[in-house]
């Protein structure tokens, strides 16, 4: 019987999570300029609390992001709860009634650069697969918050 091989390396000091959060009842309230600006503003400010957000894609009814949570920073659940609250505040200011988010979120702890590359390729192509644009470069609600985040455990 063949033994399973071990992974080359695992993020231990500064874990990198791949997260997905979904809007309540799959409401299509995320892919617009206002929500995108609020998300980017919140994620840039997260750096002040030790949380690093790398690449992300906002789809109409859900978001994907790579998040690095170093020791001593907010926990992932606390950060996501705070992000959801910040986004809800933005939507309320535009008259979009609550509830805005499904409870909970999906997270996956990345274990290797291959895992990150595969997930990013899949996530980045979501808007094309959904018929929202013809090429990934056309989707305006995607990007990278911390381009130098690779110092904390890989290219986010």
How much is the pLDDT for 150? 47
Distance of CA 155 to CAs 32, 113, 149, 152, Å? 26, 8, 6, 8
Mean pLDDT by 10 residues, the chain (156 residues): 52 78 97 96 86 94 92 84 94 94 92 77 95 97 77 44
How much is the pLDDT for 153? 42
Give residue limits of the domains in the chain: 16-148
Was domain 16-148 assigned CATH 3.30.70.1290?
yes
What is the value of pTM for the model shown?
A: 0.84
């Amino acid at each position: 019987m063949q033994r399973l091989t071990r992974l080359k390396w695992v993020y231990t000091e500064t874990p990198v999570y791949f997260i997905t959060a979904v809007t309540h009842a799959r409401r299509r309230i995320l892919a617009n300029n206002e929500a995108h600006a609020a998300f980017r503003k919140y994620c840039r400010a997260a750096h002040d609390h030790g949380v690093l957000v790398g690449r992300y894609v906002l789809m109409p009814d859900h978001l994907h992001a790579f998040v690095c949570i170093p020791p001593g920073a907010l926990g992932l659940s606390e950060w996501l709860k705070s992000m959801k609250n910040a986004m809800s505040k933005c939507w309320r200011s535009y008259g979009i009634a609550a509830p805005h988010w499904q409870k909970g979120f999906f997270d996956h702890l990345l274990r290797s650069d291959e895992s990150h590359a595969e997930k990013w390729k899949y996530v980045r192509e979501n808007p094309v697969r959904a018929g929202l644009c013809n090429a990934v470069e056309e989707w305006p609600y995607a990007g990278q918050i911390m381009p130098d985040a690779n110092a904390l455990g890989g290219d986010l």
